[in-house]
């Protein structure tokens, strides 16, 4: 039997959900667009504006600690982590991206809370723009993923 992967866009009733979004200020021209996509996805699924908390942090490396502090409050049903790490001429890219993503996974497992992983890693600014646009927005995908996990 052949399996066909289908992307199903399902709207859920998120009217009682409280979601926090942690977003990096570094590469804000990209992460700001991802944030807009995430908020749109949440609101499309009836999450109320006053139930969406947005916390800005300096960079992607600071996202896991902030997610941990939010998870410890037990105020939120899920979190969304948004950042953008663009490869440069040094290995800094690998450490920031890898450790940030690992830290998010640790928080998710330790506190049993869904976290939408929206830290994009790209080779250049063009790729980052492509992943934060209207048609392909990784912020919207990360928000949709946590809603699916809560459903």
Give the catalytic positions in this structure.
92
CA torsion sign for 48, 34, 136, 78 is: negative
Q: Coil, strand or helix: which one is 112?
A: coil
* DSSP summary character for residue 89: S
Neighbours of 27 (CB within 10 A): 20
Nearest to 26, CA basis, from 58, 63, 62: 58
The residues, ordered by sequence, that sit 6+ positions from 124 with a Cβ below 8 Å of its Cβ are: 86, 87
Contact 109, 47 (CB under 8 A): no
Contact 78, 90 (CB under 8 A): no
């Amino acid at each position: 039997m052949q399996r066909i992967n289908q992307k199903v866009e399902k709207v859920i009733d998120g009217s009682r959900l409280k979601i926090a979004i942690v977003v990096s200020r570094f590469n804000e021209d990209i992460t700001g667009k991802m944030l807009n996509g995430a908020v749109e996805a949440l609101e499309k699924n009836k999450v109320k504006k006053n139930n969406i908390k947005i916390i800005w942090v300096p960079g992607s490396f600071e996202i896991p600690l902030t997610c941990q502090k939010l998870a410890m409050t037990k105020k939120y049903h899920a979190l969304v982590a948004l950042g953008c790490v663009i490869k440069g001429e040094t290995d800094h890219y690998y450490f920031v991206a890898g450790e940030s993503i690992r830290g998010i996974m640790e928080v998710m497992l330790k506190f049993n809370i869904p976290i939408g992983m929206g830290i994009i890693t790209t080779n250049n600014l063009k790729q980052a723009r492509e992943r934060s646009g209207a048609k392909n927005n990784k912020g919207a995908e990360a928000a949709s993923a946590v809603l699916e996990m809560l459903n």
